[in-house]
C-alpha cells in the first residue's frame, strides 16, 4: 500500500489551480459576452467547441506547446472548465430582471458599479453551479494528467492499468470518485442554499 | 342517458364527491358549476373513467360503465379540457383525426370528417388543416379542441372549463358556436365552468355543487328565481339584482369616493391651480372639523375672487346633498332635477362620503345590468 | 518532418484509424441507445425506480475513463471487445437521462387529453410522449456521441484501435506529427458528429414544435 496522501494533495492542487484560473477567465469572458453585442455568440461557440474536442486529443496537442508536466494538465482543465463557467455567468447576468437593472441605472450607477455591486452578486448562485460542474469534471479529467507527465492520482491508476493490477487501479480510483462525489454533494448543498437565499 | 347512482370519491380522508345521484337526459346541455375545489372536474372525469369512484355506479344508456373497457368508452365520449391539449407535434388535421384514426376509419372518411368539421366553424380547410397548434390563436386552438372531441361523432361530449383561458370576446363567440353545434348535432354535453354567466347562457340544466354535494339541479330560470341556498345567491350576485325581489339600492352604491376636497381656509389661487390641474370646475369645501361646508366653482372665483383671499367668502351652499343610506332612486331624481352635475353624498356626521355624478350613475347602472365594467 | 508530408506519407494508416474510430463510436452509441431508450421509457413509467437508477448511472459517469478501461482490461483482456463494453456503458447515461426527463417533462395536459379521447397508454407513448420527447432524446444522443468520440481515443490504450493509437504513439515517442495526426481528425470527427446530429434534430423537429414548450 503506497502512501496516497501526497498524490491526493497534488491532485487537489492541480484542480484548485486550474479552477481558480478558469473562474477568473470564465467570469471575465462571461461579462464580455454580456456587455458586448454579437460577441456572446462567438464566445459561447468557442467554449462549446473546446468542450467538443476529445480530451486526450486536447491534452496531447497542449503538450506540444507546454511540454510534459503539470502546466499542460492545468491548461487543459482550464479550457474544459471554461464552458460551464462562461455559460452560467452569461445566462446569470443576462437573466437579471430589467426592473433591477433599470433601478440600478436610475440610481446613477456606472456600468462597472452595476456589474460589481448588483449584477455579479445576483448571478452568483448560477455562477456557483457552473463552478461546481467545472470542479467535478476536472477532478475526473485530471486523472489523464499522468499521460502527459503530470502528477496526481492518475499515476497509480495508470501504473495499475499497465501492470493489470486491480488493487493499484482502485488505490487511485476510489479517492478520485470519492472526491468527485463529496465535492458534488457539498457544493450542491451550498448551491441550494444560495438559490434559496436569492429568492 | 347518463345516470349517477350514489357516487362517492375520496382521497385519503378528504371526501371529494359525497353520494351524488342525478340523471342527464339525451340531448341535454348540463352545466356543472360551483366554487373551486367542489368536485366538478372529478364528477366530469368519472364519466369517462379518468377517475374511478370509490362507491356507486354510473350508467350510460342503462349500461354500467365499469363493464366497458375504459379506452373503448372514451372513444365514444368527446373530451375538451381548459389547457386545450392539442398535440403540438400534429397539424390541425392530424389533431382532429386522432380519434377517427384510432378507430381505424379509412382515410377518405376521416378526411371528409375534418373537412366538414372545419367548415362548421368557418375555418377553411385549405387555410387551416395543415397548420400547427402553435400557429393558431387561443380561440382557434380551442375551436380545434372542440372539433377533435366531436370528430368520431360521440353522442356525449365532456368539457372542463373549455373557455376559461380565453378573452371575453372570443369566449362569447365560442359559447355561441358550441351551443349551436350542440343543437345542430344533438349532442349531450356536460360542461364545467365557474362562471355563472356562462352557465346561465348555455345550460338547459344547471347542477350547482358545493363540497362534493349537489345543492341544486334546475333550469337557469328556476335557479334564478328560487336559489336553494345562500351560496347560490352569492354566486349569482349581480344576476339576482335584476329580479323583482332585488335588494334596495342605496345612494352609496352609486357614488364615487374619489372627490376633490379643500378646507375652507384655502386660498383662491391654490384652488384655481388645483381645478385646472384636475380638470374640474368645482370643489367641495370642508369646515375645520371636516364636515361639509359647501362648494366653490371656478366661475365664482373668476367673478369675485381676489388673489390671496380665502375661499370661504365665495362659498355656495346651493349644491344638492343626500344621505348615503337614502334610496338611490331619490338620488337620481334629485340629480336629474337639479341644474348641477352632481349630488353630494354625506355620512351620518355630515362629512363627505362621495359624489354621484351623471357618469358614475351611468357606470353603476351598467355594472348592475351587465356586470363588471372596464373603465 | 513536415506535418503535411507526414500526412501524405501515412495517409492510409490515418484513414484506417479514422474508419476504425467511427466504427467504435457508431457501435457503442447504438448499443447505448438500444439500452438507454427502453430503460428510460421504463423508468418514466416507474418513477419510483428512477431515482436510484439515475444515481447509479450518474456515479458510473464520474468514474474516470482510464479507470473504467483498466477494469475492462483486467476483466476481458486487450482488444476491441473490452473497449466496446466500456464505451457502451458510457454512452448509456446521457441518453438515459434525456429520455427519462424528456418523457416526464411532457406537459400533463397532453397526456390527459390523450387519455380522455381514448388512447391506450401505448398509443400515448408513441403518438404523444415520444414525439414530444424526441428533441431531448436526440440531444442526449448528441452528448453521448461527443463523449464517446473522446473516450474512444483513450481506448487506444487497451488496443481498441482508432485515432487514439496514433496519439498514443505520438505521446510515447514524443512525436508531434503522430499526435496531430490523431488529435486533429478526432476533434474534427467530434465536431462533425455533433453538427450532424444537431442538424438531424432540427430536421426531425415538427414545425409545430419550434418555439413551443412541451
Ligand atoms: N389526485 C388527487 N388527490 C387528492 N386530492 C385531489 C386529487 N384530485 C382532486 N383532489 C381534491 O378534490 C377536490 C375536488 O377537485 P376538483 O378538481 O374536482 O375540483 P373542481 O370543482 O374542478 O375545482 P376547480 O374549479 O378549481 O377546477 C379538491 O379539493 C382537490 O384538492
Ligand atoms: Mg376543475
Minimal CA separation from C60 to chain A, in Å: 9
**pLDDT score for B242:** 47
pLDDT higher at A198 or A188 = A188
Secondary structure of residue B245 in the 3-state scheme: coil
**pLDDT score for A154:** 92
pLDDT band at A198 (very low <50, low <70, confident <90, very high): low
Mean pLDDT check: name the lowest of A170-174, A183-187, B351-355: B351-355
Q: Which residues of B touch C214 (CB under 8 A)?
A: 88
Closest Cβ opposite residue C186 in set A49, A57, A158: A57
Cα nearest neighbour of A148 on chain C: C171
Cα C143 from Cα C137, distance rounded (Å): 10
| Binding-site residues on chain C for chain A (CB distance < 8 A) | 59, 62-67, 69-71, 73-74, 146, 149-154, 157-158, 163-164, 167, 170-171, 176, 179-180, 182-184, 186-187, 190-191, 194
Q: Which range, B80-94, B238-252, C123-137, is most confident?
A: C123-137
Cα nearest neighbour of B72 on chain C: C118
On the question of pLDDT at B279 being above 80, the answer is no
pLDDT band at B117 (very low <50, low <70, confident <90, very high): very high
Integer angstrom CA distances of residue A31 from A23, A111, B168: 12, 11, 45
| Binding-site residues on chain A for chain C (CB distance < 8 A) | 49, 52-58, 60-61, 63-64, 136, 140-141, 143-144, 146-148, 154, 157-158, 160-161, 164, 166, 169, 172-173, 176-177, 180-181, 184
Percent of chain C topping pLDDT 90: 58
**pLDDT score for C211:** 59
On the question of pLDDT at B244 being above 60, the answer is no
Alpha helices by DSSP H, B84-195: 92-96, 98-102, 107-120, 125-128, 138-150, 168-185
Name the residue with the closest Cα to ligand 1, atom 18.
B39
Cα B92 from Cα C21, distance rounded (Å): 45
The pLDDT tens digits of the residues spanning A83-98 come to 999 999 999 999 888 8
pLDDT band at C34 (very low <50, low <70, confident <90, very high): very high
pLDDT band at A103 (very low <50, low <70, confident <90, very high): confident
Burial of C201 (0-12, 13-18, 19+ CB in 10 A): middle
Determine the average pLDDT of the residues in C183-208: 89
**pLDDT score for B329:** 75
Determine the average pLDDT of the residues in B77-91: 87
Annotated domain spans of chain A: 4-198
Percent of chain A topping pLDDT 70: 98
**pLDDT score for A4:** 86
Annotated domain spans of chain B: 2-239, 253-367
Residue position matching grid coordinates 369616493 = B257
**pLDDT score for B68:** 92
On the question of pLDDT at B243 being above 50, the answer is no
pLDDT band at B232 (very low <50, low <70, confident <90, very high): confident
**pLDDT score for A49:** 92
User: Is C182's CB within 8 Å of A60's CB?
Assistant: yes
Alpha helices by DSSP H, B220-375: 220-225, 230-236, 268-278, 298-304, 328-337, 358-370
Determine the average pLDDT of the residues in B273-296: 83
SS (H, E, C) chain C: CCHHHHHHHCHHHHHHHHHHHHHHHHHHHHHHHHHHHHHHHHHHHCHHHHHHHHHHHHHHHHCCHHHHHHHHHHHHCCCHHHHHHHHHHHHHHHHHHHHHHHHHCCCHHHHHHHHHCCCCHHHHHHHHHHHHHHHHHHHHHHHHHHHHHHHHHHHHHHCCCCHHHHHHHHHHHCCHHHHHHHHHHHHHHHHHHHHHHHHHHHHHCCHHHCCCCC
User: Which of B16-51 are b and which e, b meaning 16 or more Cβ less than 10 Å from the residue's Cβ?
Assistant: bbbebebebeeebbbbbbbeeebbbbbbbbbbbbbe
Mean pLDDT check: name the lowest of A114-118, B231-235, C9-13: B231-235
Percent of chain B topping pLDDT 70: 94
Cα C114 from Cα C127, distance rounded (Å): 9
Chain C interface includes B48 (CB < 8 A): yes
Q: Which of B39, B47, B199 to mutate to test the pocket of ligand 1 (most atoms within 8 A of CB)?
A: B39
On the question of pLDDT at B31 being above 90, the answer is yes
Determine the average pLDDT of the residues in A53-61: 93
On the question of pLDDT at C27 being above 70, the answer is yes
Find, among C163, C116, A78, the residue nearest to B80 by Cα: C116
List, in order of start, the domains of chain C with CATH numbers.
Answer: 13-209 (1.10.3720.10)
On the question of pLDDT at C6 being above 90, the answer is no
Closest ligand to B10 CA? 1
Name the residue with the closest Cα to ligand 1, atom 20.
B37
Determine the average pLDDT of the residues in C80-100: 92
Which grid coordinates are listed for B257? 369616493
Mean pLDDT check: name the lowest of B219-223, B348-352, C14-18: B348-352
A4-198: CATH architecture: Orthogonal Bundle (1.10)
Cα B256 from Cα B252, distance rounded (Å): 8
User: Does the global pTM surpass 0.95?
Assistant: no
Minimal CA separation from C185 to chain B, in Å: 38
User: Is C212's CB within 8 Å of B73's CB?
Assistant: no
Cα C100 from Cα C41, distance rounded (Å): 6
Mean pLDDT rounded to a whole number for chain C: 90
pLDDT band at A77 (very low <50, low <70, confident <90, very high): very high
pLDDT band at B247 (very low <50, low <70, confident <90, very high): low
Do B2-239 and B253-367 fold alike per CATH? Answer: no
On the question of pLDDT at B7 being above 80, the answer is yes
Integer angstrom CA distances of residue B31 from B34, B40, B44, B149, B275: 10, 10, 10, 17, 53
On the question of pLDDT at A15 being above 60, the answer is yes
On the question of pLDDT at B188 being above 90, the answer is yes
pLDDT band at B248 (very low <50, low <70, confident <90, very high): low
Residue position matching grid coordinates 456600468 = A111
B2-239: CATH architecture: 3-Layer(aba) Sandwich (3.40)
Residue B237 Cβ < 6 Å to ligand 1: no
Mean pLDDT check: name the lowest of A137-141, B31-35, B212-216, B359-363: B359-363
In a mutational test of the C interface, the residue from B73, B87, B133, B165 whose CB has the highest number of chain C CBs within 10 Å is B87
pLDDT higher at A139 or B269 = A139
**pLDDT score for B239:** 55
Do the interacting molecules here have an ipTM over 0.90?
no
**pLDDT score for C203:** 86
**pLDDT score for C153:** 92
Chain C interface includes B375 (CB < 8 A): no
Are residues B158 and B79 in contact, defined by beta-carbon separation less than 8 angstroms? Answer: yes
Cα B156 from Cα C174, distance rounded (Å): 79
Domain spanning B253-367: which superfamily? CBS-domain (3.10.580.10)
**pLDDT score for B370:** 67
If you count residue pairs, one on B and one on C, with CB atoms under 8 Å apart, how many are there? 84
Mean pLDDT rounded to a whole number for chain B: 86
Chain C interface includes B71 (CB < 8 A): yes
Bridge partner list, B81: B160
On the question of pLDDT at B234 being above 90, the answer is no
Amino acid at each position: 500500500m503506497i502512501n496516497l496522501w501526497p498524490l491526493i494533495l497534488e491532485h487537489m492542487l492541480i484542480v484548485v489551480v486550474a479552477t481558480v484560473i478558469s473562474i477568473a477567465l470564465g467570469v471575465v469572458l462571461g461579462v464580455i459576452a454580456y456587455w458586448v453585442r454579437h460577441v456572446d455568440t462567438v464566445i459561447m461557440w468557442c467554449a462549446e467547441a473546446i468542450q467538443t474536442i476529445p480530451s486526450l486529443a486536447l491534452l496531447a496537442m497542449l503538450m506540444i506547446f507546454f511540454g510534459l508536466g503539470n502546466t499542460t494538465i492545468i491548461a487543459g482543465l482550464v479550457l474544459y472548465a471554461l464552458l460551464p463557467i462562461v455559460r452560467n455567468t452569461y445566462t446569470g447576468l443576462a437573466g437579471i430582471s430589467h426592473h433591477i437593472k433599470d433601478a440600478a441605472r436610475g440610481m446613477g450607477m456606472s456600468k462597472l458599479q452595476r456589474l460589481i455591486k448588483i449584477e455579479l452578486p445576483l448571478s452568483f448562485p448560477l455562477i456557483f453551479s457552473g463552478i461546481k460542474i467545472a470542479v467535478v469534471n476536472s477532478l475526473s479529467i485530471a486523472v489523464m494528467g499522468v499521460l502527459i507527465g503530470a502528477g496526481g492520482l492518475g499515476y497509480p491508476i495508470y501504473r495499475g492499468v499497465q501492470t493489470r493490477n486491480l488493487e493499484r487501479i482502485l488505490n487511485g480510483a476510489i479517492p478520485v470518485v470519492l472526491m468527485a462525489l463529496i465535492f458534488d454533494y457539498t457544493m450542491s448543498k451550498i448551491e441550494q442554499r444560495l438559490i434559496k437565499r436569492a429568492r | 342517458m347518463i345516470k349517477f347512482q350514489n357516487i362517492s370519491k375520496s382521497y385519503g380522508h378528504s371526501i371529494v364527491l359525497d353520494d351524488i345521484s342525478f340523471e342527464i337526459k339525451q340531448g341535454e346541455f348540463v352545466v356543472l358549476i360551483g366554487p373551486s375545489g367542489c368536485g366538478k372536474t372529478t364528477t366530469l372525469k368519472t364519466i369517462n373513467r379518468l377517475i374511478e369512484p370509490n362507491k356507486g355506479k354510473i350508467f350510460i344508456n342503462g349500461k354500467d360503465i365499469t363493464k366497458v373497457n375504459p379506452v373503448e368508452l372514451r372513444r365514444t365520449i368527446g373530451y375538451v379540457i381548459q389547457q386545450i391539449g392539442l398535440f403540438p407535434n400534429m397539424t390541425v388535421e392530424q389533431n382532429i383525426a386522432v380519434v377517427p384514426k384510432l378507430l381505424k376509419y379509412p382515410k377518405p372518411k376521416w378526411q371528409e370528417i375534418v373537412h366538414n368539421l372545419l367548415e362548421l366553424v368557418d375555418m377553411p380547410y385549405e387555410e387551416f388543416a395543415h397548420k400547427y397548434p402553435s400557429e393558431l390563436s387561443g380561440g382557434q386552438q380551442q375551436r380545434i379542441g372542440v372539433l377533435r372531441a366531436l370528430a368520431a361523432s360521440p353522442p356525449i361530449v365532456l368539457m372542463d372549463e373549455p373557455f376559461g383561458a380565453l378573452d371575453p370576446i372570443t369566449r362569447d363567440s365560442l359559447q355561441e358556436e358550441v351551443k349551436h353545434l350542440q343543437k345542430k348535432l344533438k349532442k349531450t354535453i356536460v360542461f364545467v365552468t365557474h362562471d355563472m354567466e356562462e352557465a346561465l347562457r348555455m345550460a338547459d340544466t344547471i347542477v350547482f355543487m358545493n363540497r362534493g354535494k349537489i345543492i341544486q339541479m334546475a333550469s337557469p330560470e328556476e335557479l334564478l328565481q328560487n336559489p336553494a341556498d345562500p351560496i347560490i345567491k352569492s354566486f349569482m350576485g349581480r344576476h339576482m339584482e335584476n329580479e323583482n325581489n332585488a335588494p334596495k339600492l342605496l345612494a352609496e352604491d352609486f357614488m364615487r369616493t374619489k372627490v376633490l376636497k379643500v378646507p375652507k381656509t384655502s386660498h383662491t389661487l391654490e384652488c384655481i391651480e388645483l381645478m385646472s390641474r384636475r380638470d374640474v370646475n368645482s370643489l367641495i369645501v370642508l369646515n375645520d372639523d371636516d364636515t361639509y361646508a359647501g362648494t366653490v366653482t371656478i366661475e365664482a372665483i373668476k367673478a369675485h375672487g381676489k388673489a390671496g383671499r380665502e375661499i370661504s367668502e365665495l362659498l355656495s351652499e346651493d349644491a344638492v346633498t343626500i344621505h348615503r343610506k337614502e334610496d338611490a332612486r331619490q338620488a337620481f331624481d334629485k340629480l336629474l332635477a337639479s341644474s348641477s352635475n352632481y349630488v353630494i353624498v354625506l355620512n351620518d356626521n355630515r362629512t363627505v362620503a362621495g359624489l354621484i355624478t351623471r357618469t358614475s350613475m351611468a357606470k353603476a347602472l351598467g355594472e348592475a345590468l351587465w356586470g363588471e365594467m372596464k373603465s | 518532418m513536415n506535418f503535411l508530408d507526414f500526412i501524405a506519407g501515412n495517409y492510409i494508416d490515418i484513414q484506417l484509424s479514422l474508419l476504425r474510430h467511427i466504427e467504435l463510436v457508431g457501435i457503442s452509441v447504438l448499443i447505448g441507445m438500444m439500452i438507454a431508450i427502453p430503460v428510460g421509457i421504463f423508468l418514466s413509467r416507474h418513477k419510483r425506480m428512477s431515482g436510484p437508477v439515475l444515481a447509479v448511472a450518474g456515479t458510473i459517469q464520474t468514474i474516470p475513463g482510464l479507470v473504467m478501461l483498466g477494469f475492462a482490461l483486467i476483466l476481458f483482456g486487450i482488444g476491441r471487445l473490452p473497449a466496446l463494453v466500456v464505451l457502451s456503458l458510457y454512452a448509456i447515461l446521457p441518453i438515459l437521462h434525456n429520455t427519462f426527463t424528456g418523457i416526464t417533462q411532457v406537459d400533463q395536459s397532453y397526456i390527459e387529453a390523450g387519455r380522455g379521447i381514448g388512447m391506450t397508454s401505448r398509443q400515448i407513448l408513441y403518438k404523444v410522449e415520444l414525439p414530444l420527447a424526441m428533441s431531448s432524446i436526440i440531444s442526449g444522443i448528441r452528448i453521448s456521441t461527443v463523449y464517446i468520440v473522446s473516450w474512444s481515443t483513450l481506448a487506444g490504450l487497451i488496443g481498441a484501435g482508432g485515432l487514439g493509437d496514433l496519439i498514443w504513439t505520438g505521446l510515447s515517442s514524443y512525436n508531434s506529427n503522430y499526435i496531430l495526426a490523431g488529435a486533429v481528425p478526432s476533434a474534427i470527427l467530434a465536431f462533425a458528429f455533433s453538427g450532424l446530429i444537431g442538424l438531424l434534430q432540427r430536421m426531425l423537429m415538427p414545425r409545430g414544435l419550434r418555439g413551443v414548450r412541451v
